[in-house]
Chains A and B, each alone.
Chain A
Amino acid sequence: MIVVDDALLLAILAEQQGAAEAFLITAAEAGEVFTTGSWFWRLARVVARPGRGALSRALAASSEDEQRRVHNALDQLPAEIGLLSMRRLVPVMAALPGQLNLLTAEAVAAAVVLGARIAVSTASPLLAAAASSVDVGIDVVDFGS
């Protein structure tokens, strides 16, 4: 089981076919991928906010119908991606050692409950330390590979 961050969730939703994403696609097909509400929320914030990247430019150049299709695809988490509710996670988050922010506590608690590893696109010292303290493994996926 793998708990993925917002960037990796985006790669799965956009059906990216690169070498870096191959194991994620395979894992998702096998029902082995979860994300968290915080990471899903981060992705929604990025999509809702015009930026300067290629995605923003491509969306701006798209028809209304294409824009609607993209927002529908990214706003509705597919049933093939798991998401544990705060009803389950908050007691575990409260028992984690240290002072953690919401994103970190939710991710580590989800991994603990699922017996999962965490996969992220960017190394995070805070997340790495929190995960290590409870023996949760972290994989950093390099999209440039």
Chain B
Amino acid sequence: MAISTGDLRAAAERARAAASEAGELRPARIGKVTTDIPEAIRAAIREDLASGAYQKAAQDAVAGDPDLAQG
């Protein structure tokens, strides 16, 4: 059975209404994101993101799992 745009719109409206009623359309808390990561690790993360090493590691980590491939 083909999915129509109308079906998608209706599903999205139902999901949005239910999420809104449950207060889920915004994060549970608003404000600055802070974590307890040491500076040396932050620098390593910065390096891996800039070099593409993180993205390569992510590909390797989900290899063989087509549902998590960002292809």
Q: A and B, one complex? A: yes
In the complex, which residue of chain A has the Cβ closest to the Cβ of B2?
Answer: A97
B50, A134: Cβ atoms closer than 8 Å: no
In the complex, which residue of chain A has the Cβ closest to the Cβ of B34?
Answer: A15
Task: Please report the total number of B residues contacting A with Cβ < 8 Å.
Answer: 53
Task: Please report the total number of A residues contacting B with Cβ < 8 Å.
Answer: 76
A101, B67: Cβ atoms closer than 8 Å: yes
Residues of B within 8 A of A97 (CB): 3, 8
Contact of A10 (CB < 8 Å), options: B10, B54, B71: B54
Residues of B within 8 A of A51 (CB): 53, 57, 60-61
B1-42 at interface with A (beta carbon < 8 Å):
3, 7-8, 10-12, 14-16, 18-19, 24-38, 40-42
Given contacts A7-B49, A88-B24, A91-B15, 17 further A-B contacts (CB under 8 A): A6-B58, A13-B37, A14-B35, A14-B46, A18-B46, A29-B32, A31-B27, A45-B58, A45-B68, A46-B54, A53-B44, A54-B51, A59-B41, A80-B32, A81-B27, A81-B33, A92-B11
B48, A53: Cβ atoms closer than 8 Å: yes
Given contacts A51-B57, A55-B44, A125-B71, contact A62 B14 (CB under 8 A): no
B33, A28: Cβ atoms closer than 8 Å: yes
Given contacts A16-B42, A46-B61, A82-B26, contact A11 B69 (CB under 8 A): no
